[in-house]
Amino acid sequence: MSDILTQDEITALLSAFNRAEGAELDPESGATYEIKIYDFKRPHKFSKDQVRTLEMIHERYARLLSTTLSTYLRAQTQVTLTGVDQLSYDEFIRSVPNPTVLNIFSFASEEGNAILEINPGIAYTVIDRMLGGKGAPPDRPRELTEIERALMTRIAGLALRDLGEAWSSLVDVTPTLHSISTSMLFSQIALPGDMVMLVTFEVELCGVTSMMSVCVPVIALEPIMSRLSAEQWFSAAHKGTTDDTTRAIGAQLDGAKLTCRVILGSAVVPMGDLTALEVGDVIRLDTRPGQELPLYIEDTEKFYGAPGLSGSRYAIQITRAVQEARSDLDEMDCEEPIR
């Protein structure tokens, strides 16, 4: 019976509850409350940490694409990330111009496709540049011709390659282009109410500034959602290069061309003798017969060698590396003064 409250205890509890409720609802109390607005039509699928990770990934993508387009088009191109948003697919459809260039590609899963959208202003500037022009867009947007569609396929391939590279430090994805369209009627990748991630970029090329965007349905990102964290991003970004990366870099460097040159010798010549030089005169060098000659790779002394002939051409046979020669000098007895 000790668990049964007395009438006084019940009255005290009701009074305390009424006081607390009155304090909460009293507008004259001066208390402030934080009210969070929740849009049931546009629920947020990504946390703030995931959005920040997506921003870092696509900031890297913007830098990669700037370099790629500048090199390919031989014109200064600047791609800048302007935002990462969550919205419905219907809102994305209503935001793009018509016509525009829509590149349909698969992303991180087979659950759905994504869209790389390039505004007409930039698309036609790129096409004009690829055809040898100065990058002047047409007076008004129009449908792509078959030749222009083929040219934009190349650009889309480069852009998707860089997109995969930007994501590679976090997850291995291979964006694959499926088709190119100019109308949203033939580019339905999701239902109107489905949520999508929309990444927008500003592109500056040949005096023209326009927009580009990447639209990915949330369902296509679900397999990799757990890896979208700043902690994993920084961990992947700061880890050392793997053996595969080292081999890939080495394979790229194998074809690099380097200049090798041999110094036969040098001489100090008075100005009077120099001004009086004629054909047939002999300049005595400071190199002795049989002495090893230094071999330079670019501007760095790397080896010593003996001169000779290889067929009908002059050649040099490498006898030792510069480091070995320095080791020989280090082993010399330098305690006695040079006389």
Q: Does the pLDDT at position 37 exceed 80?
A: no
**If you ran DSSP here, which 8-state letter would residue 338 be given?**
P
Domains, the chain, ranges and CATH?
48-240 (3.40.1550.10), 260-331 (2.30.330.10)
* 189 contacts: CB under 8 Å, gap ≥ 6: 89, 104, 112, 113, 114, 115, 215, 217
The region of weakest confidence among 80-89, 107-116, 259-268 is 107-116
H helical segments located in 169-285 = 218-221, 230-238, 243-253, 271-275
Q: How many whole angstroms separate alpha carbon 266 and alpha carbon 284?
A: 8
Whether the CA torsion 209, 168, 74, 142 is positive or negative: it is: negative
Which of 5-9, 93-97, 335-339 is the most confident on average? 93-97
3-state secondary structure of 249: helix
Q: What is the pLDDT of residues 206-215, one digit of tens each?
A: 889 999 999 9
Give residue 41's pLDDT: 61
Which amino acid is located at 9 in the chain?
E
Averaged pLDDT for residues 230-239: 57
Q: How many whole angstroms separate alpha carbon 52 and alpha carbon 192?
A: 26
Q: What is the mean pLDDT of the chain?
A: 81
The region of weakest confidence among 118-122, 219-223, 267-271 is 219-223
